[in-house]
Structure 1
Amino acid sequence: MGTWYNIIFKEEHKNTGDLAKVIDLRLSSLNQNLSTYIEQSDLNQLNRSSSDGCVEVSDDTAAVMKEALRIYNLSNGAFDPGLGPLIELWGFDKKDTHEMIPNEGSIQEMLTKLTFGKSELNEQKQCIKKGSSDLAINFSAIAKGYAVDELAEVLEKRYGIKNYLVEIGGEVKVKGNNNQGKPWRIAIEAPDPSSRTVQKIVNPGIMGVATSGDYRNYFEKDGKRYSHTINPVTGYPIDHQLASVTVIHPSAMTADALATAFMVLGDKIGYELAEKNKIAVFMIIKTADGFEEQYNQHFKPYLN
């Protein structure tokens, strides 16, 4: 996944001598199924398939696809794992945009290639029918959260561990207490590209926590800022005042995807969607004087 992971736990009644090995094996299988870096991964084999039919996939791929389609529909397409053609057009896939702005015609052409929403998952046969034969799916905005959930399940079901913190690249899930016997406290980073400071401390309880922001990966041209977060509805980088959004949800996978969706939608539409669906959300919004915080009633209990 191109990032780090961190697990802290209190050993319970079972021997955890082989835990590191078991965790690494599970991560290896997750990569083998969901990675876009591994040429023969389950996901890449699906992406390379030119079949118009339903392609059989692994348990992991099917599980993530199911939730990805749900969040796609919930967000009216703001969360789109088939966004690759637009990301490539803007140059963010190579981390070197050359500060080039694509022309309108090219953007509109790429929008016609975003067919993720037309894809179908057949749960009974555990197969996926892509929205188009050339659709390439990338689960980078949801797979880390799914992996966090899966590692938490290993701790709980295999080892009976009830006090733990699991983190993969900033996506977190906690349960019980820390080593001091106190509830876990998770820091939300301030949207400052020049340093790493804390904006807020939350006590998530038995929950997953995911944050998405646009303050580290962007370029500026002619006085305008272009974020790496692209709106799959318009084809352009997001252009609103939302700098960071944090979601707390029982599933780290769901929190991961929702944070991305809300980041695309912005502070007004994203907040309304969170309220409508009773999702705990915390937003940091750019203002003329700096930043302001906004969170709903579902997030408030986690600030105690």
Structure 2
Amino acid sequence: MNFNSPVLKFTLGLFALFFALWLFRNTDPMGPTEKGLSGTPVKLELRGKTMGTTYHVVLSELPAGQTLAKLQNEIDQRLQEINQVMSTYLPDSELSRFNQSESTSWEPVSSELFALVERAQQLSKITKGAFDITVGPAVNLWHFGPQKTTQDRTVPYDDQIEQVQQVIGYTHLHLDSETSALKKDFAELYLDLSAIAKGYAVDEIVTLIQKHKAKIGCMVEIGGEIGTAGKRPDGSSWRIGIQAPDAAPGTLTSTLELTNLSMATSGDYFNFFVVKGKRYSHTIDPHTARPVTHNLTSSVVVTKSCADADAWATALLVLGPNQAYDIARQHDVAVMLFERTDSGITSRQTEAFKQSVAKEQ
């Protein structure tokens, strides 16, 4: 799996059921603007492409001495740097080189790569392995990885699944914080940061913007993962509408009001295949190397860190409705879950979600 994979495009594309997404309920329909050279209003937003998807940045104001073009160049450069470290799509990225190495000795890595892998491992422990950056080989085996097409989708043999299970498991990766080094138990161990890297990139772009002016308000979205800082120009929070997977276009389940918070989503409502009447989800359980069989169809997570929200959203979809709800409550994570039932899609929220960010429609 890599940043260009259809799995990732789906995971973040599901809640482009979200693009109702940010309800900028401004009195000015253009939203935040500045005066251009001609004296006409210019909308303070930037759009571009990265990691096999798109990004969207909205500002409450433009930092002094900056232009939109200069800021976009900085954003693009930072995103390219992140890609060059963490992409599995680029064969010469730092992560790809680590994956290609057959060494089982300690290998020093950059502080940036080490820090994100370390956080991923911490979240793996918290979620008891539901989040696991070594699951990529199973994703590929089930034809949800980047090299496969829908024509390839067949059910693997049990011995193939058992073989892949042998090379999956976050406990087979070791970290040395003193030297920023990583070590594999075996050469075949393969790391894929796709389920946390876009959230990390959102955090980094928010930080980049804040360095220009600490109190500037902004919202950053990469492939559906969202981070916010400060307020909109009118002093209100950034507003984001949530649409249930089976809802009619424009029908919102709730509205989030985010200030210095991030949101990430994951779902399997569209990305699956059916063989002999049995549905196979793209969400792979790292413990079994098989698609999950429960009815949780999507998760929405709100935390301060978008990287954390990104990883949590993936882990919850692996765990299923009841375990996901229980672990989110245990760790006081703001979560909304959507579940398939015989009567349609139902949803429930943790108290943290209700109290901190949600307003019912």
**What range is the shorter-chain TM-score in?**
over 0.9
Query: Which of 26, 46, 67 lines up with 2:119 in the alignment?
Result: 67
Specify the SS of the correspondent of 1:142.
Answer: helix
Residues 14 and 211 of structure 1: CA distance in aligned 2, closer, same or farther (over 3 Å): same
Instruction: Indicate the larger mover: 156-165 or 85-94.
Output: 156-165
1:87-125 deviations in whole A, cap 9, x for unaligned? 121111113363411122221221111143221121221
Q: What TM-score do the two structures reach when normalised by structure 1?
A: 0.94
Equivalent residue number for residue 293 of structure 1: 347
Counterparts in 2 of 1:185 and 1:136: CA distance versus 1, 3 Å:
same
Does residue 58 of structure 1 match 2:113? no
Who is 1:218 aligned against?
A: 272
Residue matched to 2:16:
none
Instruction: Find the partner of 1:178 among 218, 228, 232.
Output: 232
CA RMSD of aligned residues (A): 1.8
Which residue identity is paired with 2:82? L
Q: 2: distance between equivalents of 1:56 and 1:196? A: 49
**Cα contact 2:63–2:212 (8 A) shared by 1:** no
Aligned to 1:27: 79
Query: What is the identity, as a one-letter code, of the residue corresponding to 2:337?
Result: M
Structure 2 unaligned runs (5+)?
A: 1-50
Shift, 1:197, TM fit: 5.7
**Which amino acid is the alignment partner of residue 11 of structure 1?**
E
1:158 pairs with 188, 204, 212, which one? 212
Give the residue type in structure 2 aligned to 1:230.
I
Residue 144 of structure 2, aligned match among 89, 92, 106: 92
Contact 2:169 2:286 in 1 (8 A): no
In structure 2, the CA distance between the partners of 1:217 and 1:167, relative to structure 1 (3 Å rule), is same
1:264 maps to 318
Residue 302 of structure 2 aligns to a residue whose secondary structure is: strand
Q: Tell me, yes or no, if structure 1 residue 8 matches structure 2 residue 61.
A: no
Larger-gyration structure (1/2): 2
The answer to whether residue 333 in structure 2 is matched with residue 283 in structure 1 is no
Count of equivalent residues: 304
Inter-CA distance 235–195: structure 2 relative to 1 (3 Å threshold): farther
Q: 1:23 to 1:141 in 2, by over 3 A?
A: same
| Equivalent-residue separation in structure 2 for 1:273 and 1:234 (angstroms) | 20
How far 1:270 moved relative to its partner?
1.0
Relative to the length of structure 2, the TM-score reads 0.80
Q: Report how far residue 248 of structure 1 moved.
A: 0.5
Contact kept in structure 1, 2:54 and 2:223, CA below 8 Å: yes
Q: Percent identity?
A: 36
- Aligned-partner SS, 2:253: strand
Counterpart residue identity of residue 281, structure 1: V
Deviation of 1:215 (Å): 0.6
Change (3 A) 1:64 1:150: same
Residues 15 and 159 of structure 1 are in contact (CA less than 8 Å); yes or no, is this contact kept in structure 2? no
**C-alpha separation in 2, matches of 1:122 and 1:188:** 41
Q: Deviations over 1:43-72 (max 9, x none)?
A: 001111111111111222112101110111
1:1-31 residue CA offsets vs partner (Å, 9 max, x unmatched): 1010011012255322221111111011001
Q: What is the correspondence of 1:225-244 to structure 2 with a 5 Å cutoff? A: 225-244=279-298
Cα–Cα, structure 1 residues 50 and 285, in superposed 2: closer, same or farther, change >3 Å?
same
